């Protein structure tokens, strides 16, 4: 079985392109359904076609690039993308944020490309053969780089992108062979804070954590200190949140993190989205027939809530196809990461895969009310130029990295 | 091959694949739960009742004159909308509507095309429905699926100020204009937006803020109940008080009769415009959005150009009032002694030229000093004296007084006119096709290639009346803060010389503006102009100012192709000054000190 992984990459790439084309077609069919006047040049549908053609062009440009060039210039690429993120601060704000650069025919969001650059520079660091991956200190530099990137994006402000920048770090560390317990220690405090909202869940989490701390090796004293540090974080956080911050401070903090929050209350959006999805049933209401969608009950339907449109008009059947396509997309990425002979390439692919996956997961989870509303689009389906371009850049990078 | 081989571990590969699998399964199981298990519940929810966000409206702000007299208000009408996807048979239903409302079927179809926003959004297809029409529609409800009527405020322009040029009008937003409007105001096709005049200038202040209400509707979009949580109320627009005095405006307009022209009156100290007449104006029908294509074409092709607001978009040669520009330029640069007398024998021949330039008075004015030259508007005096300066300095002086730039009046579509300079002449006549001396002879009379708007002339007069210090910017919004143009630094002596001349224009024997003279003790200063132009008889101008109750007022009268400034414009100006004097209580009272 493993011999397969060592054979040529073309078969995987072929599969990859087929999946992407299916997703693109699905997206266009859906956009056609929700555009008022699809044939007009200014419709979402038509603009999306233009974006895709432009992205194809960029895809082929990147195909000409050399992996070694990318590897050797990774620091330069990172610094370039980093400073690109400063440009919007000197331009007039777009929708009260400093995320976009207006190129006239469309907006680009430098934060999107900083995601890729961060991965490349971390991969270069981790693929250094002089590195002792078993030592815990090596997590410091990747985390510092990610934090630096997240910090600038957070000031734009763009919480969504900042979170996505962190997403690849853990999978990449895991892939590089960093101690699993160390990675656990990184996630544990976050999970503790989340669990602290509910007394029962917090107790269960305390027990699970206790078992994990028992299984892993290490000095007893260190493990006990870390365990209780976690527990106290969990106990103190609600206290801090509720007592040390006033209501308006909390609100201001949340508003700062989430400026696109709809003033009408995001629960209205979620309710409309869930109603649309649920009313779709097994086979959906048919193309162009979704009443929730077409009566515009469903908000931001061309980008953030496009999966809800698919679910309403094509039903569980349609959404299952999408989910299977997404699963195959990510799995093919993983296969390629495992199969490529070059370590740097492998790490970059893992990072890019994580970005792709976190977009898919966060967006789908939001439409079905598993996560708070956050303006993140779905790869290859949602309308929007900057993100479509990023998806094609990722695809093209994966393709040249795996051909190595 | 780069530095190092892939060290990926099958255990890590499987871990990540496991995480992927679990995540996708979690998502799919949630979709399964919603779409298969809970399907009935959500399906009926989407079918029977849906919560729909709907815009609510409030009245647009009123426009009132300086004395609080309402000029523009709203009146309620009914509009009829249709939601395309609910139509059973478009042709049949439209013809029923056509029968009831007596609107031709083609007009209904035309509107439907123009305002169509999508299958699921209501399109406004008829306006100004009467109550009886509404009841007939209600009677035939079953045949008319998809139609709804709604209360809708239309603008009503009272007779107190019948002036389209100042107030402007609203226009229905159609599919084409929608994209050019401010997105944050949530405009929709079929709504009204300020399209001209003050309605456009103060659109943001006058426009209501839209509210949102959430209503439960059934599958046919019919309202079942209202949900009050989360609804945002609509707020009316702000009222706009304008500086115009409606009575003065009406009176000034009546003085023009049917002649084309402009009358402007302003308070020099505050910049408030008390009267702003541009004649002819156009019919009130245009306000109500009922003007059809043909009437529009007639308006546009009318040779008297009623559509143009002459006060800010009409361009005219200023005539003799520009002689003052030469006077300012010369005295200030020490090139002219105002006491010096020159001989006017009725014509002037530049040195070394065979061409003769005539004074308007064929017999000549005899010995003329500056005072007399201004008072009697002697051409020869200025022909001779303008030779002492040069084109560059002269145009600079003209521009200091605000020509060739906007007055910054709060109305859209203001033009800046034209003060020709060296570049302009080279571009127009070629490098050798003109001479500076020759051009100055034209310019000093305010003739030739100079073009100004009447409002710029008003600003010019205000600069003079305030002796260049703290001249208030012209404005129409009464509550707009008083702002000032840049100061003009000229010596007191210069101002006094010119003032004397302007006083004599009206008050001395032989002054060209004697017909504007007041019987009361009001001191009126002024300058007449008779501006030759290629379109017929000369334009008659009178520009002046006077003091009343310690406040200064300025006045500009222009009668297009009216003839002589002294004979035609001066008497009108005189009457207006008398009117203001008699009614000073109302006009002066509102002034912000």
| Chain B residues near residue A343 by CB distance under 8 angstroms | 2-8
Nearest residue to B553 via CA among B268, B331, B303: B268
Q: How far is B15 from chain A (nearest CA, A)?
A: 9
In whole angstroms, give the CA distance from residue B143 to residue B88. Answer: 9
Total-model pTM: 0.59
Q: With an 8 Å Cβ cutoff, are B35 and A343 in contact?
A: no
In whole angstroms, give the CA distance from residue A100 to residue A89. Answer: 9
| Cα A364 to Cα A333, A361, A379, distances in angstroms | 20, 5, 11
Q: Which residue of B has its CA nearest to A272?
A: B51
Q: With an 8 Å Cβ cutoff, are A279 and B46 in contact?
A: yes
Q: With an 8 Å Cβ cutoff, are B31 and A276 in contact?
A: no
In whole angstroms, give the CA distance from residue A76 to residue A237. Answer: 40
| Chain A residues near residue B36 by CB distance under 8 angstroms | 281-282, 316
In this prediction, residue B1 has a pLDDT band, given cuts at 50, 70 and 90, of very low
Q: With an 8 Å Cβ cutoff, are B20 and A337 in contact?
A: no
Angle, helices B391-400 vs B323-332, to 10°: value is 110
Indicate if ipTM > 0.95.
Answer: no
Q: With an 8 Å Cβ cutoff, are A278 and B230 in contact?
A: no
Q: How far is B109 from chain A (nearest CA, A)?
A: 18
Q: Where in chain B is the domain with CATH 3.40.710.10?
A: 246-589
| Chain A residues near residue B119 by CB distance under 8 angstroms | 36, 294
Peptide bond before A157: cis, by omega within 30 degrees of 0? Answer: yes
Q: Which B positions 398-427 lie with beta carbon below 8 A of chain A?
A: none
In whole angstroms, give the CA distance from residue A184 to residue A207. Answer: 15
- What would the two tokens of residue A143 be? 């985390």
Nearest residue to B207 via CA among B188, B220, B179: B188
| Cα A278 to Cα A11, A113, B114, distances in angstroms | 38, 36, 36
Pick from A176, A323, A357: CB nearest B28: A323
Task: Report whether CATH 3.90.1310.10 matches the domain B53-241.
Answer: yes
| Chain A residues near residue B35 by CB distance under 8 angstroms | 277-278, 280-282, 311, 315-316, 319
Nearest residue to B527 via CA among B309, B326, B290, B287: B326
Nearest residue to B18 via CA among A318, A176, A330, A164: A330
Q: Which residue of A has its CA nearest to B51?
A: A297
Q: Where in chain B is the domain with CATH 3.90.1310.10?
A: 53-241
pLDDT in tens, chain A (404 residues): 333 434 456 788 889 999 999 999 999 999 888 876 777 777 788 888 989 999 999 999 998 888 888 888 889 999 999 998 888 888 877 766 778 787 776 778 888 889 999 999 999 888 876 766 667 778 888 889 999 998 888 877 777 788 888 889 989 988 888 877 778 777 777 777 777 767 777 888 888 888 887 777 667 787 788 788 877 877 777 777 766 666 666 665 555 555 444 444 456 677 778 888 888 888 988 887 777 776 666 767 778 889 988 998 899 999 999 999 999 999 999 999 988 888 888 999 999 999 999 999 988 988 887 776 667 889 999 988 888 999 999 999 999 988 76
In this prediction, residue B183 has a pLDDT band, given cuts at 50, 70 and 90, of low
Q: Which positions ≥6 away from A23 have C-beta within 8 Å?
A: A322, A325, A326, A329, A379, A380, A381
Q: Could you name the CATH architecture of B246-589?
A: 3-Layer(aba) Sandwich (3.40)
Q: Does B176 touch chain A (CB under 8 A)?
A: no
Bridge partners for B194 per DSSP: B170
Mutate to test the interface with A, among B8, B28, B36 (most CBs of A within 10 A): B8
Pick from B16, B39, B212: CB nearest A334: B16
Pick from A264, A295, A337: CB nearest B50: A295
Q: With an 8 Å Cβ cutoff, are A278 and B35 in contact?
A: yes
Q: Does B46 touch chain A (CB under 8 A)?
A: yes
Pick from B4, B13, B47: CB nearest A343: B4
For residue range B361-407, what is the model confidence (pLDDT) as tens digits?
888 888 899 889 998 889 999 998 998 899 999 999 999 999 999 99
In whole angstroms, give the CA distance from residue B162 to residue B87. Answer: 42
Angle, helices B323-332 vs B492-507, to 10°: value is 150
């Amino acid at each position: 079985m493993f011999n397969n992984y060592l054979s040529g990459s073309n078969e995987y790439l072929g599969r990859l392109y087929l999946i992407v084309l299916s997703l693109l077609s699905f997206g266009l069919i859906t956009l056609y359904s929700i555009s008022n006047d699809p044939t007009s040049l200014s419709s979402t549908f038509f603009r999306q076609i233009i974006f895709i053609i432009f992205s194809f062009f960029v895809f082929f440009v990147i195909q000409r690039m050399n992996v070694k060039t990318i590897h050797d210039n990774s620091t330069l690429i990172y610094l370039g993308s980093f400073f690109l993120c400063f440009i919007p601060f000197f331009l007039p704000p777009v929708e009260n944020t400093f995320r976009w650069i207006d190129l006239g025919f469309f907006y680009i969001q430098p934060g999107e490309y900083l995601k890729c650059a961060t991965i490349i520079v971390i991969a270069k660091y981790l693929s250094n053969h002089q590195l002792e991956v078993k030592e815990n200190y090596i997590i410091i530099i990747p985390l510092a780089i990610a934090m630096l990137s997240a910090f600038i994006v957070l000031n734009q402000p763009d919480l969504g992108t900042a979170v996505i920048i962190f997403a690849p770090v853990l999978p990449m560390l895991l892939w590089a062979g960093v101690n699993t317990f160390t990675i656990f220690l990184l996630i544990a405090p976050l999970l503790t804070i989340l669990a602290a909202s509910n007394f029962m869940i917090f107790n269960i989490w305390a027990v699970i954590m206790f078992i994990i701390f028992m299984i892993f090796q290490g000095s007893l004293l260190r493990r006990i200190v870390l365990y209780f540090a976690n527990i106290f974080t969990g106990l103190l956080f609600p206290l801090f949140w509720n007592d040390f911050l006033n209501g308006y401070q909390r609100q201001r903090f949340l508003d700062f993190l989430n400026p696109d929050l709809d003033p009408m209350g995001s629960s209205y959006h979620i309710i409309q989205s869930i109603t649309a999805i649920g009313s779709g049933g097994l086979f959906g209401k048919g193309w162009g027939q979704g009443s929730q969608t077409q009566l515009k009950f469903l908000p931001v339907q061309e980008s953030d809530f496009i999966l809800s449109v698919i679910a309403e008009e094509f039903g569980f059947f349609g959404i299952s196809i999408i989910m299977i396509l997404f699963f195959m997309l990510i799995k093919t990425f993983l296969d390629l990461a495992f199969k490529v002979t070059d370590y740097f390439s492998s790490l970059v692919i893992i990072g890019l895969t994580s970005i792709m996956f976190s977009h898919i997961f966060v967006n789908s989870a939001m439409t079905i009310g598993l996560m708070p509303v956050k303006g993140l689009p779905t790869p290859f389906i949602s309308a929007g130029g900057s993100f479509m371009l990023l998806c094609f850049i990722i695809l093209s990078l994966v393709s040249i990295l795996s051909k190595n | 091959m780069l530095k190092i081989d892939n060290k990926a571990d099958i255990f890590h590969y499987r871990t990540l694949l496991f995480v992927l699998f679990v995540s996708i399964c979690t998502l799919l199981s949630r979709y399964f739960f919603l779409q298969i298990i809970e399907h009935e519940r959500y399906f009926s929810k989407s079918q029977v009742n849906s919560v729909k966000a709907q815009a609510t409206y409030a009245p647009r702000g009123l426009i009132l004159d300086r004395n609080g007299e309402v000029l523009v208000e709203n009146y309620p009408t009914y509009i009829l909308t249709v939601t395309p996807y609910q139509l059973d048979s478009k042709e049949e239903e439209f013809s029923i509507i056509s029968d009831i409302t007596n609107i031709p079927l083609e007009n209904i179809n035309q509107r439907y095309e123009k305002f169509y926003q999508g299958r699921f959004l209501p399109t406004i297809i008829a306006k100004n429905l009467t109550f009886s029409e509404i009841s007939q529609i209600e009677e035939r409800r079953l045949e008319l699926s998809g139609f709804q009527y709604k209360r809708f405020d239309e603008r009503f322009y009272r007779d107190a100020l019948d002036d389209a040029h100042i107030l402007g009008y609203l226009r229905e937003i159609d599919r084409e204009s929608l994209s050019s409007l401010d997105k944050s105001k949530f405009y929709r096709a079929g709504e009204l937006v300020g399209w001209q005049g003050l309605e456009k200038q103060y659109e943001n202040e006058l426009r209501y803020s839209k509210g949102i209400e959430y209503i439960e509707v059934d599958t046919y979009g019919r309202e079942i109940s209202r949900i009050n949580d989360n609804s945002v109320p609509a707020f009316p627009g702000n009222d706009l008080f304008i500086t115009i005095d409606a009575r003065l405006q009406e009176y000034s307009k009546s003085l023009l009769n049917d002649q084309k022209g402009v009358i402007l009156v302003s308070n020099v100290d505050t910049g408030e415009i008390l009267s702003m007449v541009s004649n002819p104006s156009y019919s009130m029908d245009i306000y109500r959005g009922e003007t059809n294509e043909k009437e529009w074409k007639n308006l546009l092709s009318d040779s008297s150009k009623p559509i143009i607001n002459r006060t800010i978009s009409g361009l005219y040669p200023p005539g003799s009032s520009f002689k003052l520009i030469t006077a300012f330029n010369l005295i200030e640069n020490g090139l002219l002694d105002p006491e010096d007398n020159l001989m006017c024998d009725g014509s002037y021949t530049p040195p070394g030229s065979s061409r003769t330039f005539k004074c308007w008075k064929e017999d000549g004015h005899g010995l003329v000093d500056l005072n007399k030259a201004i008072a009697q508007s002697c051409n020869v005096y200025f022909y001779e004296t303008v030779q002492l300066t040069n084109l560059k300095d002269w145009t600079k002086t003209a521009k200091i007084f605000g020509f060739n730039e906007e007055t910054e009046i709060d109305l859209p579509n203001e033009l800046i006119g034209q003060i020709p300079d060296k570049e302009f002449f080279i571009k127009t006549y070629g490098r050798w096709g003109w001479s500076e001396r020759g051009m100055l002879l034209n310019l000093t009379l305010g003739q030739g290639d100079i073009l100004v708007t009447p409002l710029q002339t008003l600003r010019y007069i205000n600069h003079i009346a305030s002796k260049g210090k703290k001249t208030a910017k012209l404005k129409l919004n009464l509550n707009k803060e008083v702002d000032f143009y840049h100061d003009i630094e000229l010596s007191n002596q210069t101002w006094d010389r010119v003032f004397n001349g302007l006083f004599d224009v009206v008050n001395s024997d032989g002054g060209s503006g004697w017909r504007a003279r007041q019987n009361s003790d009001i001191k009126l200063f002024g300058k007449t102009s008779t501006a030759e132009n290629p379109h017929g008889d000369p334009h008659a101008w009178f520009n002046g100012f006077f003091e009343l109750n310690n406040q200064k007022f300025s006045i500009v009268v222009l009668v297009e192709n009216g003839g002589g400034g002294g004979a035609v414009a001066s008497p009108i100006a005189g009457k207006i000054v008398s009117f203001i004097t008699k009614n000073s209580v109302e006009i002066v009272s509102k002034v912000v000190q």
